């Protein structure tokens, strides 16, 4: 009886567990915000890719175009200005020989303290310099008993194949999963959104390490400096493209599973499977074929498997077809190839055979169809035999390279000596903002399509809801509250409150019960009676209008609450050359334009009020809209290290300087510890601002 009962209980538990698992796997119903966002990404991706495709098809002078594009790519990888080619301080720490192959374990410093660990494969005997392959690894780390042996041990068989077939090969570790373990996942899962603000991507580190690897190879007598090739898979496929695009010393390239289309990444979600090393900071809003276009007319073969979920076939073919047009325009169709092999995202030897054949053709002159003597590539060495360091160097900077790889503006900016100096500095900042941070804003004027959708009077207050188009397909609400017996034109002041998630919840708690019809479908929080009474008193005593703007992704346009998905939404914005905060600044600008389009609302004074990161967004919006009388900013971040996230901004300015620009146009009220804003206070004194122009003070209780 007990056994039967136990079996029944276990069966019931299994059924319930299976049901629960199935239930948890059922996707939630997409919100209106989710649908709006999906349509937005499709539309923005379509525009970006169409513009890039038009550039490729209509360019007639490719050498000149490549020169400009290469400069842009250096910048988007954080390599502008180019770092100094410091002493490599190369050191061979050990070597091992087996089956006709010698491997030297070595290290060099691509920048002081930035160590690259590597294995140099060469044949035991050779006559004269040989063609040389730079093998750049994907993510294939080997860790034993807590000790990292690097990606290079995983990919050792490729280096051995080259050495056994008449090449030398330098296989270098990546920043992440190398012997010294740095980070590739800053925005992927570490919350380091300041990477975008710094103009930093680990792709730049990998590109620079690869360039310096070529510098090292040029010092080796075994190497034919005129015959450098590069290959690698997955992350290594991407790094193959970075170095081949940037450095024309690379004569032949064969990236494996390293590139796909913007459509795949943004619309189809492939970005979720990739860390930050796969992407440049997309300042100039490129599609990926522009990277491969920089390699033309040098030999390029793109390789992939046909069931790779993070590099899908359609995207790989799209990149190939667009790149092929460039090779055709340069009269080099025989220099571009495409190879697929059956399988998932995996390092398979059959997929490597076309790459090997590609190098044999272009470095040794074999004909198409000729067979390679031996395509087997066994792993010959134990991980311990390929390790470079016994003890990791104390002066390594790999683990915090993100903090210094790209130059950033000083933490303590210097107050300008004169108004003339400031005007020059301000003009430079505004120009760089437009060209390095806000290129993703719409360029064409679009109709606001402003409409009133709700109005109700209660408790002496008029409450209305308006809607407007921030841009095509992004329709946002704007709420207006004022005395019931007045029109907007009768008011003395309008205050626009830009809302984040917390602000939206507070707003609903204040007005949701009284004006429920303005919030169709909203889940109302507990009513805040005290806040509502305070609003009643305000509007009874003051001729003020209070406006509330929930920017995209907040309130009625809120998208998924899943944190992982929200992270990749932010990454999609950045990959399109925008960032979420950039587009929320645009929303605030359009909200200001919308409120002024309400009859009579262009007459009262206008204040902006916001909290936290949204205060930073409001600050920026004020730079681009006229006649904003005052800014009330609560908990304004003192640096973009904490937000808002804007591409490249920390390379040329920070929030205190932006506040100084805004303070020339609008009165500033910053509710914070005064000691945090020394630059701004000193600036105001230097420029002889009136006492009303700037006040930094602690917030009053309840504010």
Q: Distance between CA 123 and CA 98 in Å, rounded? A: 10
Across 374-392, average pLDDT: 94
Residue 25 has what pLDDT? 35
Q: What is the spatial distance between Cα 445 and Cα 452, in angstroms, rounded to a whole number?
A: 21
At 444 the pLDDT is: 83
Edge-to-edge order in the sheet of strand 493-499: 451-458, 461-471, 474-483, 544-550, 493-499, 605-611, 630-634, 667-671, 694-697
- Res 503: pLDDT: 98
Overall average pLDDT of the 506-520 stretch = 97
- Closest of 449, 505, 456 to residue 477, by C-alpha: 449
Q: Residue 700 has what pLDDT? A: 64
**Rounded average pLDDT over 291-305:** 98
Looking at per-residue pLDDT, the higher value among 331 and 674 belongs to: 331
Tokens for 406, please give them: 């790209």
Classify residue 613 as exposed, middle or buried by CB count within 10 Å of its CB (0-12, 13-18, 19+).
buried
Give the pLDDT band (50/70/90) at residue 16: very low
Q: What integer pLDDT is reported at residue 13 of this predicted model?
A: 31
Give 638's DSSP letter.
Answer: S
Task: Read off the pLDDT of residues 172-231 as tens digits, 9 standing for 90 and up.
Answer: 999 999 999 999 999 999 999 999 999 999 999 999 999 999 999 999 999 999 999 999
> Structure tokens of 642?
């904490």
Please state which of the ranges 128-142, 543-557, 688-702 shows the lowest mean pLDDT.
688-702
pLDDT at 6: 31
Contacts of 202 (CB under 8 A, 6+ apart): 175, 176, 182, 183, 184, 186, 275, 276, 277, 401, 402
Of the candidates 484, 469, 494, the one whose C-alpha atom is nearest the C-alpha of residue 547 is 494
Q: How many residues are present in the chain?
A: 703
Distance of CA 314 to CAs 79, 234, 265, 305, 306, Å? 31, 17, 12, 12, 9
**For residue 165, what are the CA distances in angstroms to 68, 122, 381, 385, 599?**
38, 10, 18, 22, 79
400: left (phi over 0), alpha (psi -120 to 50) or beta: alpha
Q: CB of 625 within 8 A of CB of 603?
A: no
The phi and psi torsions of 223 (rounded to 5 degrees) equal -105, 135
Tens digit of pLDDT for each residue in 103-145?
999 999 999 999 999 999 999 999 999 999 999 999 999 999 9
User: pLDDT tens across 72-99, in order?
Assistant: 999 999 999 999 999 999 999 999 999 9
Q: Residues 56, 326: contact at Cβ < 8 Å? A: yes
d(CA 649, CA 320) in angstroms, rounded, equals: 33
pLDDT of residue 26: 41
- Whether pLDDT at 376 is above 90: no
Other C-beta atoms lying within 10 Å of the C-beta of residue 547:
27
Question: Given a cut of 70, is residue 655 above it in pLDDT?
Answer: yes
Q: Is the pTM of this model over 0.75?
A: yes
pLDDT class of 15 with cuts at 50, 70, 90: very low
Between the alpha carbon of residue 233 and those of residues 241, 305, 470, 508, 544, the distances in Å are 11, 11, 41, 51, 62
Residue 256 CA to residue 351 CA, distance in Å, equals 8
State how far the Cα of 633 lies from the Cα of 669, in Å rounded to an integer: 6
Tokens describing residue 553: 């992704």
The DSSP secondary structure of 346-413, one letter per residue, reads: S--HHHHHHHHHHHIIIII-PPTTPPPS-------S-GGGG---SS--TT--GGGGGGTSS----SSP
- Strands 630-634 and 605-611 come out as parallel
Report pLDDT for 31. 87
Question: Confidence band (pLDDT; 50, 70, 90) for 279?
Answer: very high
Mean residue pLDDT across the chain: 94
Report the distance separating Cα 217 and Cα 88, nearest Å. Answer: 11
First to last CA, the chain: 68
Q: Report how far residue 223's alpha carbon sits from residue 399's, in angstroms, rounded to the nearest whole number.
A: 31
In the prediction, which pLDDT does 474 show? 98
**CA–CA separation, 65 and 63 (whole Å):** 5
Tokens of 213: 């690897």
The mean pLDDT value for 393-416 works out to 95
How far apart are the C-alpha atoms of 103 and 83, rounded to whole Å? 30
pLDDT at 368 over 90: no
Distance from the Cα of residue 263 to its chain's centroid: 16
Q: What is the mean pLDDT of residues 15-37?
A: 57
Cα–Cα distance for residue pair 305/328, rounded to 1 Å: 25
Residue 18 confidence (pLDDT) above 90: no
Q: What would the pLDDT profile of 407-436 be if each residue is shown by its tens digit?
A: 999 988 999 999 999 999 999 999 999 999
Residue whose entry in the numeric block shows the structure tokens 């059922």: 26
Strand-by-strand arrangement of the 91-98 sheet: 91-98, 101-111, 114-123, 168-172, 130-136, 223-233, 250-256, 300-305, 336-341
Domains of the chain, earliest start first: 91-403 (3.40.50.1820), 451-697 (3.40.50.1820)
Read off the pLDDT of residues 579-621 as tens digits, 9 standing for 90 and up.
999 999 999 999 999 999 999 999 999 999 999 999 999 999 9
57 and 325 Cβ atoms separated by less than 8 Å? yes
Angstrom distance (rounded) from CA 247 to CA 214: 9
Supply the pLDDT for residue 539. 97
Taking the CA atoms of residue 278, residue 281, residue 282 and residue 288 in that order, the dihedral angle to the nearest 10 degrees is -20
Q: Tell me the CA distances in angstroms from 224 to 92, 127, 181, 228, 239, one per residue in order.
A: 20, 11, 32, 7, 22
């Amino acid at each position: 009886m007990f056994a039967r009962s136990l079996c029944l209980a276990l069966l019931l538990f299994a059924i319930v567990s299976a049901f629960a698992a199935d239930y948890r796997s059922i996707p939630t119903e997409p919100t209106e915000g989710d649908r709006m966002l999906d349509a937005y990404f499709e539309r923005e991706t379509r525009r970006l890719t169409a513009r890039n495709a038009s550039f490729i098809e209509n360019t007639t002078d490719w050498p000149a175009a490549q020169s400009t594009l290469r400069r842009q790519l250096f910048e988007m990888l954080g390599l502008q200005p180019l770092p100094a080619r410091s002493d490599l301080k190369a050191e061979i720490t050990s070597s091992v020989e087996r089956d006709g192959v010698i491997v030297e374990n070595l290290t060099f410093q691509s920048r002081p303290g930035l160590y690259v660990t590597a294995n140099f494969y060469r044949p035991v005997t050779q006559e004269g310099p040989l063609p040389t392959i730079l093998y750049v690894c994907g993510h294939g780390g080997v860790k034993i008993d807590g000790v990292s042996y690097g990606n290079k041990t995983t990919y050792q068989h490729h280096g051995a194949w080259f050495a056994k077939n008449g090449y030398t090969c330098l296989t270098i570790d990546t920043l992440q999963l190398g012997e010294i373990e740095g980070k590739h996942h800053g925005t992927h899962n570490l919350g380091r959104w300041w990477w975008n603000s710094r103009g930093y991507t680990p792709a730049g580190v990998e590109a620079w390490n690869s360039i310096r690897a070529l510098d090292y190879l040029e010092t080796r007598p075994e190497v034919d400096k005129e015959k450098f090739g590069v290959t690698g898979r997955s992350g290594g496929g991407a790094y193959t493209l970075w170095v081949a695009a940037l450095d024309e010393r690379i004569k032949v390239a064969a990236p494996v599973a390293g590139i796909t289309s913007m459509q795949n990444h943004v619309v189809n979600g492939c970005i979720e499977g990739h860390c930050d090393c796969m992407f440049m900071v997309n300042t100039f809003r490129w599609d990926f074929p522009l990277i491969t276009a920089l390699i033309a007319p040098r030999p390029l073969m793109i390789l992939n498997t046909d069931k790779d979920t993070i590099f899908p076939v359609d995207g790989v073919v799209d990149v190939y077809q667009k790149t092929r047009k460039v090779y055709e325009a340069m009269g080099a169709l025989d220099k571009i190839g495409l190879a697929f092999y059956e399988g998932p995202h995996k390092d398979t030897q059959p997929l490597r055979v076309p790459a090997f054949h590609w190098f044999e053709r272009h470095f040794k002159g074999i004909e198409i169809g000729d067979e390679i003597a031996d395509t087997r590539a066994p792993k010959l060495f134990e991980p311990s035999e390929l390790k470079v360091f016994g003890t990791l160097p104390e002066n390594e900077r790999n683990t915090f390279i993100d903090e210094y790889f790209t130059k950033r503006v000083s933490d303590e900016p210097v107050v300008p000596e004169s108004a003339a100096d400031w005007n020059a500095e301000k003009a430079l900042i505004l120009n760089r903002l437009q060209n390095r941070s806000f290129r993703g804003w719409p360029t064409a004027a679009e109709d606001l399509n402003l409409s009133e959708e709700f109005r109700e009077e209660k408790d002496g207050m008029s409450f209305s809801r308006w809607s407007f188009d921030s841009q095509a397909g992004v329709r946002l609400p704007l709420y207006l509250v004022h005395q019931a017996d007045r029109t907007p034109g009768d008011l003395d002041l309008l205050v626009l409150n830009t809302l984040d998630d917390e602000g939206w919840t507070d707003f609903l708690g204040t007005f949701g019960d009284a004006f429920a019809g303005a919030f169709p479908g909203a889940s109302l929080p507990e009513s805040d009676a005290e806040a509502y009474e305070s609003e009643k008193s305000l509007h009874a005593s003051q001729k003020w209008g209070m406006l509330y703007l929930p920017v995209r992704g907040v309130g009625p346009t809120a998208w998924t609450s899943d944190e992982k998905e929200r992270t990749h939404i932010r990454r999609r914005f950045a990959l399109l050359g925008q960032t979420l905060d950039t587009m929320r600044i645009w929303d605030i600008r359009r909200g200001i334009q919308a409120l002024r389009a309400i009859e009579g609302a262009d007459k009262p004074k206008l204040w902006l009020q916001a909290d936290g990161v949204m205060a930073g967004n409001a600050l920026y919006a004020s730079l681009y809209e006229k006649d904003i009388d005052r800014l009330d900013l609560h908990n304004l971040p003192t640096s973009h290290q904490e937000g808002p996230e804007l591409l490249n901004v920390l390379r040329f300015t920070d929030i205190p300087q932006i506040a100084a620009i805004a303070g020339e146009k609008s009165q500033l009220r910053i509710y914070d510890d005064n000691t945090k804003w020394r630059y701004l206070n000193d600036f105001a004194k230097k420029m002889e601002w009136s006492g009303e122009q700037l006040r930094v003070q602690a917030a009053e209780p309840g504010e």
